[in-house]
């Protein structure tokens, strides 16, 4: 079994989580801090996105570099978490210089939300600026926590507990890594096998085929249509390669291919599927056309694996949907 890796395998990235899950709360925020000079892009595929500062990342627009990405619960209300990330960055002089003094900066923090309103019992329990500040403050280079944490705290996926997952791929002297927050109407898990739809992840993650009783438990959950409120999968795909804004956007577009492999169905009208691309240009050989294609293929692989890890790493919470782990009580070797 190979090591699936983490988003922070891309040099210079840091990830932090903040969440709250008691007293009617079940939500949180995940922040990805990026090194100075990081080029950004974005691709939005869902029909009901909740986003902030995505227009600035379009290739034809002025600003090229971004300082952080904020992924959060709380639907459109949760976009307020980005205010805290901006204040944290401002206090450190990070951002676009807009005046004569060093502290005259405007941090660029594109953001996206998932719908998790009311999942802890209170409709008004949603992330605000304090969540963004705490997540930024907690950001570290160590491998990020996965599963029911940060922006994935209140997530659901095809009737199961959703969550946060990450992965990385090495290709052509470059690292390509992804982090996904899975809150999908579709399912990562195939009800027929009890294992992820993306079979390439089975052995990579060391998964074993659930026994017949476990498969029946799983099928009873993921094989039943679930009311689709508002759902979304959001995330970041990053590389150490040097790309321009169009290249970073193309990286995000390729990540959506991985999303569609892992989650079925995906990109529905009531989904808000959004992926941010980031290129640090920190290491590796120059990127020619062949190398670009390899990076795009790796972005799809990494994001598919990140989506899968988000669900299989999740843990159930009182009053919430079961986690895949809860339903797989025993197993036998893969057949």
H or E, element range at 143: none
Write down the pLDDT at residue 2.
59
Query: What are 197's two structure tokens?
Result: 């739809």
pLDDT of 277-332, one tens digit each? Answer: 999 987 767 788 888 999 999 999 999 999 999 999 999 988 889 999 999 864 44
pLDDT of 190 over the 60 cut: yes
Average pLDDT over the chain reads 91
| Residue pair 267/219 in contact by the 8 Å Cβ criterion | no
pLDDT over 90 (residue 239): yes
Give the pLDDT band (50/70/90) at residue 333: very low
pLDDT of residue 269 exceeding 90, the answer is no
User: What average pLDDT does the segment 186-192 reach?
Assistant: 93
- pLDDT score of 229: 61
Average pLDDT over residues 5-24: 96
Of the CA atoms within 13 Å of residue 160, those in its CB half-sphere come to: 37
% of the chain exceeding 90 in pLDDT: 75
Q: Distance (Å, rounded) from C-alpha 117 to C-alpha 101?
A: 41
At residue 228 the predicted structure's pLDDT band, cuts being 50, 70 and 90, is: low
The whole-number pLDDT of residue 271 equals: 81
What pLDDT does residue 270 have? 79
Position 226 confidence tier, pLDDT thresholds 50, 70, 90? low
The reported pLDDT for the residue numbered 136 is 98
At residue 266 the predicted structure's pLDDT band, cuts being 50, 70 and 90, is confident
- Cα separation, 308 vs 278, in Å, equals 21
Averaged over 171-184, what is the pLDDT? 95
Quote the tokens at residue 118.
């009311």
Tens digits of residue pLDDT in 205-225: 888 889 899 999 999 998 666
Nearest 10 degrees: CA dihedral of 79, 240, 61, 67?
A: 40
Distance in angstroms (rounded) separating the CA atoms of residues 332 and 335? 9
> Can you tell me the mean pLDDT for 4-8?
94
Please tell me the predicted confidence (pLDDT) of residue 293.
Answer: 94
In this structure, how many other beta carbons lie within 10 angstroms of the beta carbon of residue 318? 6
Selected from 3.60.70.12, 3.30.365.10, 1.10.8.50, 3.40.50.1100, the CATH number assigned to the domain covering 7-324 reads 3.60.70.12
**Tens digit of each residue's pLDDT (9 = 90 or more) over 110-137:** 999 999 999 999 999 999 999 999 999 9
DSSP at 264: B
Determine whether 211 is exposed, middle or buried from the number of CB atoms within 10 Å of its CB (0-12, 13-18, 19+). middle
For residue 101, what pLDDT band results from cuts at 50, 70 and 90?
confident
Distances (CA, A) of 323 to 103, 194, 216, 220, 300: 46, 12, 14, 13, 25
């Amino acid at each position: 079994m190979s090591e699936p890796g983490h988003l922070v395998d891309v040099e210079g990235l840091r990830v932090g989580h903040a969440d709250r899950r008691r007293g009617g709360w079940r939500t949180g925020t995940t922040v990805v801090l990026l090194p100075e000079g990081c080029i950004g892009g974005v691709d939005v595929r869902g029909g009901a996105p909740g986003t902030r500062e995505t227009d600035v990342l379009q290739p034809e627009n002025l600003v090229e570099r971004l300082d952080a990405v904020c992924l959060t619960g709380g639907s459109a209300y949760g976009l307020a978490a980005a205010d805290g990330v901006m204040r944290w960055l401002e206090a450190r002089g990070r951002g676009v210089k807009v005046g004569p003094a060093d502290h005259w900066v405007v941090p660029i923090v594109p953001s996206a939300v998932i719908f998790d309103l009311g999942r802890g019992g209170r409709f008004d329990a949603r992330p605000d600026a304090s969540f963004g500040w705490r997540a930024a403050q907690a950001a570290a280079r160590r491998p990020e926590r996965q599963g029911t944490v940060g922006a994935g705290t209140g997530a659901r996926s095809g009737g199961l507990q959703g969550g946060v997952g990450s992965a990385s791929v090495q290709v052509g002297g470059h690292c390509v890594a992804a982090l996904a927050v899975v809150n999908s109407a579709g399912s990562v898990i195939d009800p027929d096998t009890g294992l992820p739809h993306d079979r390439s992840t089975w052995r990579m993650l060391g998964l074993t085929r659930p026994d017949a009783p476990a498969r029946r438990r799983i099928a009873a959950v993921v094989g039943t249509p679930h009311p689709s409120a508002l759902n979304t999968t959001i995330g970041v795909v990053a590389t150490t390669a040097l790309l321009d804004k169009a290249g970073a956007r193309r990286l995000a577009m390729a990540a959506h291919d991985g999303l569609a492999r892992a989650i079925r169905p995906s990109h529905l009208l009531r989904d808000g599927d959004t992926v941010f691309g980031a290129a640090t240009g920190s290491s590796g050989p120059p990127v020619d056309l062949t190398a670009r294609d390899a990076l795009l293929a790796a972005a799809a692989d990494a994001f598919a694996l990140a989506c899968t890890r988000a669900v299989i790493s999740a843990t159930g919470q009182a009053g919430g949907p079961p986690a895949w782990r809860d339903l797989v009580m025993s197993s036998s070797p893969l057949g």
